[in-house]
């Protein structure tokens, strides 16, 4: 189970938040989500609580954000070269999701920083693939991660799980 914590602006389009009854069971933790506009195009940017990994989705079907998120996450994790079994475990854990309100100012700061980067980058390359764009942003060092990039932190988190499951 995963909690997708949406900004107020995104919740206005999705609907009221649900009740969070348990913490996320994913290695990447809760996800913070907010809308991003580039010209007339609309997107949803999601970032992982533990690694700040970005996932970018089209903004036209936000009512089904929770249903569409696992497949978008799978494409980004595969693009990072994560082992298939680790991708499958993480993605399966996101198939059951709760939409809630944001509760972490640090995540909102990263979400705003990444939104600015995306907007600037997409103005020059409007037809860029969303997975390629997420992978590009994932290489940006983040101060709350000790100036490490989300791609490295994500690989480390998912590799630790793979190493731990081999000993079982």
CATH of the domain at 29: 3.30.420
Secondary structure percentages of the chain, helix, strand, coil, to 5? 50, 20, 30
End-to-end CA distance of the chain: 23
| Measured CA distances, 121 to 46, 73, 98, 126 (Å) | 17, 21, 31, 8
Which residue segment(s) compose the domain that 62 sits in? 2-166
pLDDT tens sequence across 100-142: 999 999 999 999 999 999 998 888 776 889 999 999 999 999 9
Q: What is the pTM of this model?
A: 0.92
pLDDT tens digits for 148-168?
Answer: 999 999 999 999 765 655 443
Number of domains in the chain: 1
- Extended beta strands in the chain, E state: 2-6, 31-38, 41-48, 54-58, 97-101
Tokens describing residue 92: 């399966």
């Amino acid at each position: 189970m995963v909690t997708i914590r949406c900004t107020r602006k995104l919740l206005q389009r999705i609907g009221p938040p649900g009740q969070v009854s348990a913490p996320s069971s994913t290695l990447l933790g809760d996800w913070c989500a907010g809308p991003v506009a580039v010209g007339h195009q609309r997107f949803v940017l999601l970032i992982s609580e533990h690694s700040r990994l970005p996932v970018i989705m089209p903004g036209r079907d936000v009512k089904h954000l929770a249903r569409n998120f696992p497949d978008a996450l799978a494409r980004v994790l595969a693009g990072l070269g994560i082992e298939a079994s680790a991708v499958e475990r993480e993605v399966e854990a996101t198939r059951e999701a709760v939409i809630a309100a944001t509760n972490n100012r640090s995540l909102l700061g990263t979400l705003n920083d990444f939104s600015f980067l995306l907007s600037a980058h997409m103005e020059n390359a409007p037809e860029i693939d969303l997975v390629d764009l997420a992978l590009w942003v994932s290489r940006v060092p983040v101060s709350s991660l000790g100036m490490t990039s989300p791609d490295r932190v994500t690989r480390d988190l998912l590799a630790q799980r793979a190493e731990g499951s081999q000993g079982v």
